[in-house]
Structure 1
Amino acid sequence: MVEKKAKKIPVTTGKKMNQPSDSEKRSSQEKAKSESGVNTLVSIYRQDHRQEIDMTRLERKKFSKKRLILTLLVILLVMFAAASIAGFFIFNHGQGKKGESIELTITAPKTVDSGGEIEIEVTYLNKDNVAVKDADLTILYPDGFYFSHSEPQAQNEANTYWKIDRIGSGTGGKIKIYGQIIGDLNSTKTFLASMNYTPANFNSVFEAKSSHSLEITASIIELSLETPIRIVSGQETEIDVKFKNNSKLPLSNLKIIAAFPEGFSLTEADPAMPEDGQFWLVKELAADTENIIKLKGVFQGNPGDAKEIRFQIGLIMNEGEFRLQSEKSAIIFIVKPELNLQLTINGSNQEMAVDLGDTLEYKVTYKNASDVELRAVMLQAQFVSETSILDLTKVNDPQNGTIEEKSISWGALQIQGLSTIVPQAEGEFTFSIPALSVISPLKETDRNFSVDNYIKVTAVESEDTAVDFEKLSESNHIVVKVNSKVNLETEGRYYSEEFEKLGSGPLPPEVGETTSYRIFWSVSNLYNDLEDVEVAAILPKDVFWTGRATSSTGGAVTFDVSTRTVTWKINRLSANTGQLFPKADANFEVSITPTAKQEGKLMVLINDSSLSARDSFTNYDIETSSPLVTTDLENDIAGQGRGIVVSKTADQNLNQSSDLNQNNNSNVNSN
Structure 2
Amino acid sequence: MQKSQHGAISLGKLILIAIGSIAVVGGALLLFINFAPPSADQDTVVLEFSSPKTITVGQPFSVKVSFVNSGNFPLKDAKLALSIPQGIYFIGSDETQRVAEQALGDIGPGSADQRIFNLIALEGRQTLKRLEAVLSYRRAGSEARFEEKSQVDLTIGGEAVTMTLESPARVFSGEQFEIKLHYRNNTDSVFEDLTLTLAVPDAFSMDSADPKPSKENNWHIATLNPGEEGNIIIKGSLKGPEKAFFGFRAELLGNIGGTTYKLATKGGSVSIASSIISATITVNNKKDYIAHIDDDLDYVITLHNNSEITIENINVRATLLGKLYDYPQLSTDGFFNSLTNTITWNPAQNSSLFSLGPGESTALRFSIPLLSAFPVARLGDKNYTLKVRVEAESPTVPPQTTAEKTMTVTQLETKVAGKLAVDAQAFFRDAKSGIINEGDYPPQVNRTTQYTIHWKVYATATDVSNVLISAFLQSGAQWTGKVKSNINSVPQYDPHSGQVTWAISHVPANTGIVTKPIEAIFQISHTPSVVDVGKDVKILTKTRIEGRDDFTGIMLTNEDDILTTNLVDDPTVSNIRNPRVRP
TM category (shorter chain) comes to: 0.5 to 0.7
Other structure's SS at 1:523 match: strand
Candidates 403, 410, 422, aligned match of 2:357: 422
Q: Which residue of 2 aligns with 1:558?
A: 492
CA separation in 1, counterparts of 2:348 and 2:300? 19
State the shift of 1:456 in Å. Answer: 1.7
Per-residue CA distance 1:306-361 (angstroms, 9 max, x = gap): x999xxxxxxxxxxxxxxx988554647x442112222211112x22111111111
Deviation at 1:104, TM superposition (A): 6.1
| 1:338 lines up with 2:272 in the alignment | no
- Going from structure 1 to structure 2, the CA distance change for 1:503 and 1:643 (only over 3 Å counts) comes to farther
Structure 1 residue 548 and structure 2 residue 548: aligned? no
CA distance in 2, matches of 1:566, 1:493: 17
More strand by share: 2
- Percent identity reads 20
How many residue pairs get matched?
422
Q: Could you tell me which residue of structure 1 aligns to residue 346 of structure 2?
A: 411
CA distance in 2, matches of 1:209, 1:635: 83
Structure-1 separation of matches of 2:460 and 2:314: 42
Whole-Å separation in 1 of the counterparts to 2:387 and 2:405: 20
Does 2:316 correspond to 1:379?
A: yes
Structure 1 residues 395 and 108, CA gap change in structure 2 (3 angstroms): farther
Please report how far the alpha carbon of residue 438 of structure 1 lies from its aligned counterpart in structure 2 after TM superposition: 2.1
Q: What amino acid maps onto 1:446 in structure 2?
A: D
Deviation at 1:614, TM superposition (A): 0.8
Aligned equivalents of 1:517, 1:143: Cα separation in 2: 72
In structure 1, the residue matched to 2:564 is 630
Q: Within 1, Cα distance between the matches of 2:152 and 2:439?
A: 99
How far off is 1:621 after superposition?
A: 0.9
Match of 2:580 in 1: 644
Aligned partner (choices 430, 453, 465) of residue 496 of structure 1: 430
* TM superposition shift of 1:119: 11
Q: Structure 1's 229 and 352: CA in aligned 2 closer, same or farther, altered over 3 A?
A: farther
CA distance in 2, matches of 1:498, 1:308: 61
**Cα distance change of structure 1 residues 603 and 422 upon mapping to structure 2, 3 Å threshold:** closer
Instruction: Give the deviation of 1:620 after TM superposition.
Output: 1.3
Structure index of larger Rg:
1
Compute the displacement of 1:566 (Å).
Answer: 0.5
**How many Å separate the matches in 2 of 1:112 and 1:550?**
68
Q: In structure 2, do the counterparts of structure 1 residues 625 and 212 end up closer, same or farther at CA, with 3 Å as the change threshold? A: closer
Decide whether aligned partners of structure 1 residues 327 and 187 sit closer, same or farther in structure 2, where only a CA change above 3 A counts. farther
Correspondence 1:124 to 2:66:
yes
Which residue pairs with 1:172 in the alignment? 113
Task: State the secondary structure of the residue aligned to 1:354.
Answer: coil
Residue pair 1:449, 1:527 contacting (<8 A) in 2 also = yes
Counterpart in the other structure of 2:125: 185
- Which residue of structure 2 lines up, in the alignment, with residue 32 of structure 1? none
What is the DSSP-based 3-state SS (H/G/I as helix, E as strand, rest coil) of the residue aligned with 1:578? coil
Displacement of 1:567: 0.7
**1:212 CA displacement:** 6.4
Larger relative contact order, structure 1 or 2 (CA cutoff 8 Å, min sep 6): 2
Q: Tell me, in whole angstroms, the C-alpha distance in 1 between the residues paired with 2:478 and 2:132.
A: 89
Amino acid at match of 1:151: E
CA distance in 2, matches of 1:519, 1:369: 64
Per-residue CA deviation, residues 133-173 of structure 1 (Å, 9 max, x unaligned), is 379999998898899545369xxxxxxxx9x975545x525
Q: In 2, Cα distance between the equivalents of 1:552 and 1:209?
A: 65
- Check conservation: 1:535, 1:611, Cα contact below 8 A: yes
Out of 592, 599, 615, the residue aligned to residue 533 of structure 2 is 599
SS state of the match for residue 570, structure 1?
strand
The structure in which a higher percent of residues are helix is 1
Q: Cα offset for 1:384?
A: 3.3
- The change in CA–CA distance for 1:215 and 1:499 in structure 2 (over 3 A counts) is closer
Gaps of 5+ in 1: 1-100, 154-161, 196-207, 233-297, 300-306, 310-324, 648-671
Match of 1:352 in 2: 289
Q: Distance in 2 between matches of 1:494 and 1:423?
A: 75
Aligned-residue offset at 1:414: 1.3
The answer for the alignment partner of 1:538 in structure 2 is: 472
- Relative to structure 1, the CA distance from residue 524 to residue 168 in structure 2 (aligned partners, 3 Å threshold; closer, same or farther) is same
Structure 2 residue aligned with 1:514, among 436, 439, 448? Answer: 448
2: CA distance, partners of 1:194 / 1:505? 88
**Alpha-carbon distance, 1:644 to partner:** 2.0
Structure 2: distance between partners of 1:308 and 1:441: 34
Task: Determine if the alignment matches structure 1 residue 474 to structure 2 residue 416.
Answer: no
What CA deviation, in whole Å up to 9, does each residue of 1:405-456 have, x standing for no partner?
A: 3321111121122123333333223221111222321222211000122422
Q: Is 1:398 paired with 2:348?
A: no
Kindly state the Cα deviation for residue 398 of structure 1 after the two structures are TM-superposed.
3.0
Residue 151 in 1 paired to residue 94 in 2?
no
Q: Spell out the pairing of 1:579-618 with structure 2 (5 A cutoff).
A: 579-618=513-552
Counterpart-to-counterpart distance in 1, 2:152 and 2:315: 71
Per-residue CA shift, 1:101-137, capped at 9, x if unaligned? 99964599965579xxx998644377xxxx8437999
Asked if the contact 2:385–2:413 (Cα under 8 Å) also holds between the matched residues in 1, the reply is yes
CA distance in 2, matches of 1:521, 1:645: 24
d(CA) in 1 for partners of 2:529, 2:48: 112
For residues 398 and 143 of structure 1, the distance between their equivalents in structure 2, rounded to whole angstroms, comes to 63
SS in 1 for 2:332: coil
Aligned 8 A contact 2:87 2:122 in 1: yes
SS at match of 1:638: helix
Going from structure 1 to structure 2, the CA distance change for 1:567 and 1:462 (only over 3 Å counts) comes to same
* Aligned 8 A contact 2:57 2:123 in 1: no
Q: Is the 1:379–1:455 Cα contact (8 Å) retained in structure 2?
A: yes
After superposition, the Cα gap between the structure-2 partners of 1:502 and 1:139, relative to the gap in structure 1 and judged at 3 Å, is closer
User: 1:669 maps to which residue?
Assistant: none
Question: Secondary structure of the residue that 1:133 maps to in structure 2?
Answer: coil
Q: Of 381, 387, 396, which residue of structure 2 is paired with 1:446?
A: 381
When residues 496 and 176 of structure 1 are mapped into structure 2, their CA distance, relative to the original with a 3 A threshold, is: farther
Deviations 1:184-239 (A, max 9, x none): 335464758899xxxxxxxxxxxx999866557499xxxx9x9994589xxxxxxx
User: Which range moved further: 569-578 or 482-491?
Assistant: 482-491
- Take 1:151 and 1:635, find their aligned partners in 2: how far apart are those partners? 75
C-alpha contact 1:604 1:631 (8 A) present in aligned 2: yes
Residues 12-411 of structure 1 correspond to what in structure 2 (within 5 A)?
105-106=50-51, 122-124=64-66, 132-133=70-71, 148-149=98-99, 151=101, 166=108, 168=110, 172-174=113-115, 184-185=124-125, 187=127, 189=129, 217=159, 229-230=170-171, 330=269, 332=271, 335-349=273-287, 351-385=288-322, 388-400=323-335, 402=337, 404-411=339-346
Q: How far is 1:461 from its partner?
A: 4.1
Could you tell me how far 1:538 is from its partner in structure 2? 0.6
Return the letter of the residue paired with 1:415.
N
Q: Please, what TM-score do these two structures have when normalized by structure 2?
A: 0.61
Match of 1:455 in 2: 390
Task: After TM superposition, give the deviation of residue 535 of structure 1 in Å.
Answer: 0.9
CA contact (8 A) 1:522 1:585 kept: yes
Give the residue type in structure 2 aligned to 1:466: T
Distance 1:610 1:209 in 2: 75
Q: In 2, Cα distance between the equivalents of 1:546 and 1:227?
A: 76
In structure 1, what residue type is equivalent to 2:373? V
- Once residues 403 and 540 of structure 2 are traced to their aligned partners in structure 1, the CA distance between those partners, rounded to angstroms, is 68
Alignment-mate amino acid for residue 371 of structure 1? E
8 Å contact kept, 1:341–1:473: yes
